[in-house]
Structure formats: C-alpha cells, structure tokens
Amino acid sequence: MLWILAAVGLAVAELFTTSFFLIMFALGAVAAAAAAALDAPVTVQALLFVIVSLLATLGLRPALRRHFGRDAGEPTPVAEIAGSEAVVLERVDDRSGMIKIDGEYWQARAIESDQVMEPGERVHVVEIKGNTAMVWRV
C-alpha cells in the first residue's frame, strides 16, 4: 500500500513540475508495489524501485523530452520567458519582489531603481539574470 501511495504522490507532483523526472520514480514505485503484491521481501522491493527508476530515467525520460519538445536543441523555457508579461504578487522594486509568469513564481527586480510595482500590476519581463526576472511596468 505504501508503494501505491508513493506512486500516486510522485505522479501528482509531476503534474506541477512537467520535467518527466518524478514520474520515473512513480514507475519505480509501481514496480515495487507489484513486487510487494507478490510477497517479495522489502529489500527486493527497494532494489526493484531503484533499478526501474534508474532505467526509466536513463532510457524513457530522454525520449519523452524529445517527443514533447524539451530537447537540448530547442529553446529552454527560461529563454522563452524574456519578452513575456507577468503579474506582480509581492511588491517589486530594485531589491526584491515576486511575480507570476505563466503559472510559475519568479523572483523579480525592477530594471530601474526608481520603479516600484505593487501586487496585481502587470509587468514586462525584459531579461532573466540567473533565477531573477528583470521587469518593467507595462
């Protein structure tokens, strides 16, 4: 039962990441659950979990990423963020702030030191520096 709960939890968590990483561990948990259903020892269940998760991550994940357009040859989602619009969640100035871009939360800073954007305002993402969006008021 524990393996089934782990598989479901990992699959649900994958819905929020869409990286095809956690779902590979969910597959490992399903394999371990099948072993548990056949009364395999816990060590065999754990070993099966690790092996299936590893094989799925190394074998299946790259194929899924290519199929769904997340291959290394294509622009990364971060590269696509510059030029988009976002909504301010926490006050943004030249030192701190938080915005929401296409459902994702990002740290943000105002491009100019005299700009202050309040929650609810729309901003334009000028560029990404590290993990921080540099923004300008729309």
pLDDT tens-digit series, residues 16-56 = 877 788 999 999 999 999 999 999 999 999 999 999 999 99
102 in Cβ contact with 84 (< 8 Å):
yes
pLDDT tens-digit series, residues 80-107 = 788 889 999 999 999 999 999 877 889 9
- Given the candidates 1.10.150.120, 3.30.70.20, 1.10.579.10, 2.40.50.140, the CATH classification of the domain at 77-137 is 2.40.50.140
What is the pTM (predicted TM-score) of this model? 0.51
CA separation (Å) from 20 to 36, 47, 120? 25, 21, 32
Q: What is the pLDDT of residue 73?
A: 46
Domain residue ranges in the chain = 2-67, 77-137
Task: Give the chain's radius of gyration (CA, Å).
Answer: 21
